Amino acid sequence: MTKARAAVLRRRGGPFRIEEVTVADPGPGEVLVRCVATGVCHTDLLAVDGVLPPASPVVLGHEGSGHVAAVGPGVAGLAVGDPVVLSPAACRTCRTCVGGHPMLCERFLPLNLAGARPDGTSAYQDADGQRLNGHFFGQSSFASYVVVGAHSAVPVDPAAPLALLGPLGCGFQTGAGAVLNVLGPAEGETLVVIGVGAVGLAAVLAAAIRRCGRIVAVDRNPERLKLALDLGATHAVDAATDDLPTAIAKTADGRVDCVLDAVGTSATARTAIEATGFGGRIAIAGSHGAGAELTVGLSAVFGRTIHGVSQGDSTPAEFIPQLVAHHRAGRFPIDRLIRSYPLAEIGRAVADAKAGRTVKPVLLH
């Protein structure tokens, strides 16, 4: 048993409370990780609002990075002290896992949102010994120590800045993977990104890595559009523009090959479809999508394809180290997207994210 400090959500809507909690020793196939930093993701906020499980009291957080602190029985390939980035759980035995798409695991939802290990237990307890739901996306890294399945802990280059890397395990791999793994634009093609928050800006950076000819950023926030232009976007379009699909098409001389909808509302999905050229590809990666309705109609025929994206359809053990290498080579400057806060200031971090003042808050443990 290890004592840890955690931001605990006691009731729907919050606030988070900083508490001393205990974390169980790692069981078979698990490791204990001492977290260095954890990103705050929109999905955490959906769980705070009760749109997503698990129920409170719960420890959320799913963009953790840290060092392996203890290794459970039967774990190979990880040792105490290894720097790791955490990523969601996958069963590794279902059809899609075996087929090389662990982030499309058929058991993804129960494994990552049930608030428990697969056997129903939780490694997390409060100071009174009461169970806390946890294992959120295989981790619950709003705690300074977490117990994770060994496959969720991805070893990374020890020279990389661990305090910046947690969001590679969700938001940044979602945006970068939507481009590099799902849409796969060829050099010179046009990519449009609707919504340039953390996911969308990671997609802009990936599009620059892919040498897209035109990279069009669409957002309502002028600061975000300016940042997108700094990071490699070639055009910026105000999302409040009338007839947005036409405005987008104009920036690309009418040739839009790929569109990433990083917002995922009914309206943005429709814009994405209507803005895409015949035969083009559309990826929908936004987590607002739970209640979104997709109007397909005539606009979606003519060879367009629509992909739903989970975690950039990545294999985290391979993709996260690739993103770390891009960062170290200066091609994936995630430091431009991140603002750090002490864990105790999680409330301010969430408020800044909601107000659009911070692209990606990262909590330091």
Q: How far is the CB of 231 from Zn ion (least distance, A)?
A: 20
What is the 3-class SS of 30-94, one letter each residue? EEEEEEEEEECCHHHHHHHCCCCCCCCCEECCCCEEEEEEEECCCCCCCCCCCEEEECCCCCCCC
Q: Counting contacts by CB under 5 A, is residue 133 touching Zn ion? A: no
Q: How far is the CB of 93 from Zn ion (least distance, A)?
A: 6
Question: Which residues are registered as beta bridge partners of 124?
Answer: 23
Q: Phi-psi region for residue 358, left (φ > 0), alpha (ψ -120 to 50) or beta? A: beta
Q: How far is the CB of 107 from Zn ion (least distance, A)?
A: 5
Write each residue from 318 to 337 as x if it is in contact with Zn ion (CB under 5 A), else as -, in one continuous string.
--------------------
Q: Smaller CB distance to Zn ion: residue 36 or 249?
A: 36
The Cα–Cα gap between 202 and 178 comes to 9
Q: How far is the CB of 70 from Zn ion (least distance, A)?
A: 26
Question: Which residues are registered as beta bridge partners of 71?
Answer: 31
Q: Smaller CB distance to Zn ion: residue 35 or 91?
A: 91
The Cα–Cα gap between 138 and 89 comes to 5
Q: How far is the CB of 291 from Zn ion (least distance, A)?
A: 18
The Cα–Cα gap between 237 and 177 comes to 23
Q: What residue type is assigned to position 51 of the chain?
A: V
- Residue in 341, 349, 344 with CA at minimum distance from that of residue 5: 344
Decide: helix, strand or coil at residue 23: strand
The Cα–Cα gap between 64 and 168 comes to 9
Angle at 210 between CA 102 and CA 260, to 5 degrees: 60
Segment contacting Zn ion (CB under 5 A): 36-44, 120-128, 261-269, 318-326?
36-44
Count residues binding Zn ion (CB under 5 A): 8
Q: Smaller CB distance to Zn ion: residue 170 or 273?
A: 170
Segment contacting Zn ion (CB under 5 A): 33-41, 52-60, 126-134, 299-307?
33-41
Q: Which of 43, 65, 190, 310 binds Zn ion (CB under 5 A)?
A: 43
Segment contacting Zn ion (CB under 5 A): 37-45, 48-56, 155-163, 331-339?
37-45
User: Is the separation of the CB atoms in 85 and 146 below 8 Å?
Assistant: no
The DSSP symbol for 185 reads P
Pairing of strands 258-261, 190-194: parallel
Q: Which of 7, 23, 41, 237 binds Zn ion (CB under 5 A)?
A: 41
The Cα–Cα gap between 123 and 90 comes to 18
The Cα–Cα gap between 218 and 234 comes to 11
Binders of Zn ion among residues 82 to 121 (CB under 5 A) are 90-91, 94, 97, 105
Token pair of 246 as six digits: 């036409």
Q: How far is the CB of 61 from Zn ion (least distance, A)?
A: 10
Q: Smaller CB distance to Zn ion: residue 97 or 164?
A: 97
Q: Which of 7, 170, 180, 273 binds Zn ion (CB under 5 A)?
A: 170
Q: Smaller CB distance to Zn ion: residue 2 or 173?
A: 173
Segment contacting Zn ion (CB under 5 A): 53-61, 166-174, 257-265, 272-280?
166-174
Any alpha helices (H) in 127-214, and if so which ranges?
A: 162-165, 171-177, 198-209
Q: Smaller CB distance to Zn ion: residue 23 or 97?
A: 97
The Cα–Cα gap between 345 and 295 comes to 41
Q: How far is the CB of 352 from Zn ion (least distance, A)?
A: 17
Q: How far is the CB of 287 from Zn ion (least distance, A)?
A: 7
Segment contacting Zn ion (CB under 5 A): 12-20, 41-49, 72-80, 352-360?
41-49
Interface with Zn ion by CB under 5 A: which residues?
41, 43, 90-91, 94, 97, 105, 170
